[in-house]
Chain A
Amino acid sequence: MTTLPTFESSKKPGEGAVSRADLMHACMRNQLQAHDLIIRAVDKSGMTQKELAKRTGIDEATLSRILGQPKNLEINTISKIVYAACGAMLTLSFSYPRTQRSAVVLLMDVQPSTMDSTMLRNFTYAPIDHLSASAAVQVSTNQNAFEMMASSVSSRVRVTEVAPHA
């Protein structure tokens, strides 16, 4: 028996190809996560689009479209914007829906020198019965939102803040 996590699917295992709708759901989720991450990075930087365009080499019109809506962006494009905006690298991880083991989204690894009180905070998030499978989750920039999240998660889930880099 496998111990690998599976994800909630609209098709039962063994039914062949994953449903196109499930694939769309996965793709859209990641596009939305990337869009959110980019906006947070840019807002945090305080840079204008013009300044960011100059720093990244991405033309301003394209940058405006990227910030305007979730899109199917290249990893390189996300990487350039996030790094140029706040010196952060991307961390990519697996994630699983709430019914399974853990949840993860794109994370920014912020350099210690750029940390401040409003930086993104990292947490682990794991079902109680799979503590060893805990994984990081990027939450919001403020304490209120974290407290809201912590109070609204299921009692089967543990959320713990991860100490920032030393």
Chain B
Amino acid sequence: MSIIARVEELVAVGKLIHRPSSFLDISARNVILAPEIEALAQKPFADTPEGERHAALAAYLDAFSELNAITVSQDPYNKPGHTMLARAFPIEDEFWSMRITHPEDTAGMRLLGAFCAVDSFVGLACDFRENIMSFDDEVSAAKDRWADLFNGITPLSGSSLRDYLTNFREL
């Protein structure tokens, strides 16, 4: 079974949710999320500091869906602090961290997942950055979730960034 066919199956049974831009209702890129993560990025947001951070997550996901330019770093241990998408270690496992670095007075959030096709990101683990005591453990959680859902199908693997997404700027 292809990875896309499996994603479609998982979306059909509600184990994953396809999230278009909440603003334009388009998916020029695809964001596919675990249900509990999708719920975080849904209005209404709580009128609290946590709600503000969820609102920032929603804005980032909207930007991804609308094909906004994304800054990307491929070296998990040598990347600018502000890069928007970075590979997670180990690289060969093909997991990535979507880095929500706003609001600026917070540590932001991290959404971990993998690509299932070009411009199609599956987000499987998400938390406030300060709650992630071990980043490796968080990546492992995302990998375990992937393994549970995808029955041996591995994430998209490519030889260059163009194999993963369009309209990016490598940092």
Give the interface of A toward B (CB within 8 A).
Answer: 8-11, 19-22, 24-25, 28-29, 31-33, 35-36, 39-40, 43, 65, 67-70, 72, 95, 97-98, 103, 125, 137, 139-140, 145, 148-149, 152-154, 157
* Contact A39 to B69, CB < 8 A, known contacts A98-B22, A98-B23, A140-B167: yes
Q: A21-B52, A137-B24 are in contact. Are A68 and B71 (CB under 8 A)?
A: yes
- Would you give 6 A-B contacts (Cβ < 8 Å), ordered by A? A19-B47, A22-B55, A33-B68, A68-B71, A98-B21, A152-B27
**Cβ contact within 8 Å between B24 and A11:** no
* C-alpha spacing A31/B22, complex, angstroms: 16
Asked if B162 lies at the interface with its beta carbon under 8 angstroms from chain A, I say no
Q: A68-B82, A68-B171 are in contact. Are A98 and B58 (CB under 8 A)?
A: no
> Which residues, 22 to 55 on B, are CB-close (under 8 Å) to A?
22-28, 43-48, 51-52, 54-55
CA distance A137 to B56 in the complex (A): 22
The size bracket of the interface on B is 35 or more
**Distance in angstroms between the alpha carbons of A10 and B166 in the assembled complex:** 33
Q: Are A21 and B59 in contact (CB under 8 A)?
A: no
Interface of B is mostly: loop
A31 to B63, CA, bound (A): 10
B45 contacts A69, C-beta separation under 8 Å: no
Q: Knowing A68-B82, A69-B83 are in contact, say whether A28-B56 is a contact too (CB < 8 A).
A: yes
B69 touches A29 (CB 8 A): no
Could you tell me the distance in whole angstroms from the C-beta of B127 to the nearest C-beta in chain A?
Answer: 18
A69 contacts B55, C-beta separation under 8 Å: no
* B28 touches which of A19, A68, A148 (Cβ 8 Å): A148
Q: Which residue of A lies closest to B166 (CB)?
A: A145
Asked whether A25 lies within 8 Å of B45 as measured between CB atoms, the reply is yes
Q: A140 to B26, Cβ gap below 8 A?
A: no
Decide: A10 and B47 in contact? CB cutoff 8 A: yes
Nearest CB in chain B: distance from A135 CB, A: 12
Indicate if B80 sits at the interface (CB-CB under 8 A). Answer: yes
Contacting residues, chain A, for B71 (C-beta < 8 A)? 67-69
Tell me if B23 and A103 are in contact (CB < 8 A): yes
Kindly list chain A residues whose C-beta atoms are within 8 Å of the C-beta of B97: none
User: Given contacts A10-B51, A21-B45, A103-B24, is CB(A69)–CB(B82) below 8 Å?
Assistant: yes
Chain A residues positioned under 8 Å from B55 (CB to CB):
21-22, 24-25, 28
Assuming the A-B contacts A19-B47, A28-B102, are A125 and B24 also in contact, with contact meaning beta carbons closer than 8 angstroms in the complex?
yes
CB-defined contacts of A153 to chain B, threshold 8 Å = 24-26
**B141 interface residue (CB < 8 Å to A):** no
Q: Which 3 A-B pairs have the closest CB atoms?
A: A10-B44, A21-B45, A28-B59
CA distance A69 to B68 in the complex (A): 12
Q: Do A65 and B82 touch (CB < 8 A)?
A: yes
